[in-house]
Amino acid sequence: MTAELQIDNDRHPLATKQGWASFVAQAMPEPPRLLPAADWQRLTSFEREVYNETRQDYHAALLLVATPDIKKIIHTGTKLIINNRGKQLGRRGLIVSGASGTGKSTSITQLGKKFQIDLERRSPGVRDRIPVVYIVVPPDATPKMLAVEMAIFLGLPVARTDGPQAVAHSVAAVMRRVGTGLVLVDEIHRLDLSTRQGKNASDQLKYFFDTISATFVYAGLDLAETSLFDGVRGRQIAGRFIPVNTGPFTHRTIEAKRDWAKLVAAMEHALRLHRHQPGTLIELAPYLHDRTGGMIGSLDQLIHEAANDAISDGTERITKSHLDAVILDLAAQEQFVPRQRSKQAGPR
C-alpha cells in the first residue's frame, strides 16, 4: 500500500521527495484532550461538530501499532544497513513478503523514516541530501518506467526521448551525489520474471543495486507464489536478499492470544471517547480476531471506524453493534464465520 500526506494544501504521494520529507517530519498525532463532562455538554452545535471532527481525524491518522513482525523488519533492516555501510560488493538486501494488510508497507517506510532521522541526528545541517528513495513498482513495469519512478522521486526531469539507460545513469549519479543510503521498492510482486519485460525490469533494479552503495529493501504480496525467485535472475535475488515474512496474528496458543490482546489494548488505549469503558475491546478480542482473521490492517479499520461511528451517533462508546456494522475488506469478510452467541458477545 502507498500513502499521501498534506503539504501546503497540496497532496504529495509518498513516492516523491516532498511527500517523503513530510512523512519523515510528521510526528505521531497528538491525542486531543477530552473535555470535562460539564464543558462537553455546554458545547454549541458548531463547537461540538469541530470537537467531534478533531477526534475523528485523530482516530483516522493513528498508525498501526508496532507488531512483532514490524519490529522484526525494522530490527533486521537496521542491522543490514550497518553491515552494508561503506560496501560496494557483498551487500545484502531485505525482502519482505506477506499477505495484504499485514504491515509490509508500514514496516519498510518506518524503517526508512528511522534511518533518515538517525542520520540527520548524527550529522545535522547537510544540504541537498536525500538519504532514502521510495518507489512503487508500476504495473507491467519496463526498465525505463522503474528508472523514471526513481527520477520522479529525486525531482529529475525526464524527456520522452530519453532512453532507459540514459535515465538510469542520471538517476544513479544523482543518488550517489546526494548520499542515498536506503532504497525502498514497494509492490515488487508486480515484476513478472516469466516475461522478457519483467526480466529486463529486474535487470534494471540489479543495475541500481550494483552501482549505488545503498541497502535495498523490496516488499510485495506473497512473493513465494510469484515468479520473482524463478530462473537465473530469481536465484540471484534469493542469494542477495534476506527474507522476512509478515502474516496475520494467530489465536491458537496462550502466547498468541496474549499478543493479540496486547495489540487490541494498545489500540483501545489510544481512543478518545467520552463513555467508552477500558477493557471492553479486550473482552471482545476473540470476536475481533474472528472478524479480521488476525490482519492488523483490518483490525485498524474495524476499531477506528467503529470509534468514529460512536462519535457520530453520540453514544461515545464502542459496542458490538458498532463493530458488526463496519464493512471490512473482502478477504476479512470471506474468512469470517460468526460464533454462537456467548459471553464474548459483549455490550450491544
Give the confidence band of 15 by pLDDT, cuts at 50, 70, 90.
very high
Give the model's pLDDT for residue 190: 94
Domain with CATH 3.40.50.300 in the chain: 68-246
What is the DSSP secondary structure assignment for residue 138, as one 8-state letter? P
Give the confidence band of 168 by pLDDT, cuts at 50, 70, 90.
very high
Question: How would you label 190-212 residue by residue, b for 16+ Cβ within 10 Å and e otherwise?
Answer: bbbbeeeebbbbbebbebbbebb
Helix residue ranges per DSSP H, the chain: 17-25, 37-41, 45-61, 68-84, 104-122, 143-154, 164-177, 196-211, 231-240, 254-270, 280-283, 285-292, 296-312, 320-325, 330-335
Give the model's pLDDT for residue 337: 76
Alpha-carbon gap, residue 205 to 337, rounded angstroms: 43
Domain with CATH 1.10.8 in the chain: 251-345
**Is the CB of residue 310 less than 8 Å from the CB of residue 348?**
no
* Residue 29, φ and ψ in degrees, nearest 5: -60, 135
Whether 31 has a pLDDT exceeding 50, the answer reads yes
Q: Tell me how crowded residue 137 is: count the other CB atoms within 10 A of its CB.
A: 21
CATH topology of domain 68-246: Rossmann fold (3.40.50)
Does domain 251-345 fall into CATH 3.30.565? no
Give the model's pLDDT for residue 348: 52
Average pLDDT over residues 320-335: 88
Please, what is the average pLDDT of the chain? 89
What is the pTM assigned to this prediction? 0.84
